[in-house]
Amino acid sequence: MDTAGKDFPYRMAFYFIVASSVWNFFGAGVIGFFINLPVISYFESGTYLTVAHAHGAMFGAFGFLAMGMAVYILRITTRPEQWSERRLTWSFWLCNVGIALMLFLSLLPVGFLQLEVAFTEGYAASRSLEFYSGNLIQTLFWLRMPGDTLLILGAIVFAGDILTKLLFQRKATAEETSRHIIADRIVGEGVGEPDSDDD
């Protein structure tokens, strides 16, 4: 991609898919492995560590993957003169920073505090109203707002960009109507075409 520079047509799709790999490693891999250790899993099930794992793995891994695939398809079907990466770049960074703030400022700290209470005072105490009403926990709950806000804004910007690009879809040429343009790019042109009956 470095040699292609800014002319690489699928740059934003590539970025979203790379983000999916990073969050898959951290959300599903690191946090998922940690909470599934038997000594941890027995005490943390249903705590905010589970919530952190769910958000990091589901949106981080699969959400960004779906966004990357959507951008890839749109890059193929949108008229080249109408293609812009400005809103997609904003969406990419808003979503990534948003999920990072959500995890590191709120969900993981609350989850580790719950785990500590579960170890020292029992599982019931870590899920009690008294725990959730504590000043520190309430502060951490409020600290989730910046990350959530950025994530929501990123999703809105992404949806708006998708809807805008859908208005400028290019028409298939006569040659393209006889074949599947996306499949041909993936599998290779001419694959699966019937043999001619000239012999």
Q: Is the pTM of this model over 0.85?
A: no
**Residue 176 per-residue DSSP state:** G
- For residue 194, is it within any domain? no
- For residue 69, is it within any domain? yes
pLDDT at 8: 75
Per the prediction, the chain carries an average pLDDT of: 83
pLDDT at 3: 53
3-class secondary-structure state, position 78: strand
**Residue 107 per-residue DSSP state:** I
pLDDT above 80: residue 196? no
- For residue 56, is it within any domain? yes
What is the domain extent for residue 88?
5-170
- For residue 156, is it within any domain? yes
User: What does the pLDDT look like over 124-153, one tens digit per residue?
Assistant: 888 899 999 999 999 999 999 999 999 999
Cα–Cα distance for residue pair 117/48, rounded to 1 Å = 12
46 φ/ψ angles, rounded to the nearest 5 degrees: 85, 5
- For residue 59, is it within any domain? yes
Question: In the numeric block, which tokens belong to residue 13?
Answer: 């799709």
What is the number of H-type helices and E-type strands within the chain? 12, 0
Cα–Cα distance for residue pair 148/59, rounded to 1 Å = 12
Split into its structural domains, the chain has a count of: 1
Give me the residue label for tokens 């700290």: 109
User: What does the pLDDT look like over 44-59, one tens digit per residue?
Assistant: 788 888 889 889 888 8
pLDDT above 80: residue 184? no
Q: Which of 34, 41, 18 is nearest to 92 (CA)?
A: 18
Q: What is the CATH number of the domain that holds 75?
A: 1.20.210.10
pLDDT at 87: 92
pLDDT at 198: 53
Tell me the average pLDDT across 7-19.
87
